[in-house]
Amino acid sequence: MRTITPASGIVISEYLYSTQGTQFESFTIDADAVSTTDDDSKKYLDKGVVLAKITSPAAASGLVGPYSDAATDGRQLTYNIVGISDTFADLSEGDVEVGVLVTGTVKEDQIAMNSTTKNGAIPGAYKDLLRTATLDILVK
């Protein structure tokens, strides 16, 4: 992964409210599902992005990407949400394995979910999606 400097135009902020009781899993990000670029036109995934499983096409099955209710590849299904990205990932070279928070407490203004960008409020219904049988993420 390349070093991020102020010249790249990216500020990496901490999304965790607390590190106490956190649990993580590992998933591979589908670079084709990410569209965010920095000032150098390098594709990246920031920390604090809610991720969901890709189930279609079959070739991409097992990969994850940013949750989006406008997606048509499985990421739009709320039961496919796997957690929150804990890794700043440079995807300009292709798919990358990242750490994903599955249990913990996060800062609401540092989470990006669907069309909600960081520094915004997350609707209550979205917060509920992060507290399921497989996830235990509290948004503060």
- 42-45 own/partner pairs: CB under 8 Å, 24+ apart: 42/2, 42/8, 42/90, 42/92, 43/90, 43/91, 43/92, 44/10, 44/88, 44/89, 44/90, 44/91, 44/92, 45/85, 45/87, 45/88, 45/89, 45/91, 45/96, 45/98
Domains of the chain from N-terminus onward: 6-139 (2.40.300.10)
Give pTM, 2 decimals.
Answer: 0.86
pLDDT tens readout for residues 12-33: 668 999 999 999 999 999 999 9
Mean pLDDT of 9-14: 65
**Residue-wise pLDDT tens digits, 75-95:** 999 999 999 999 988 899 999
Question: Could you give the percent of the chain with pLDDT greater than 70?
Answer: 88
Q: Is the model's pLDDT at 114 over the cut of 90?
A: no
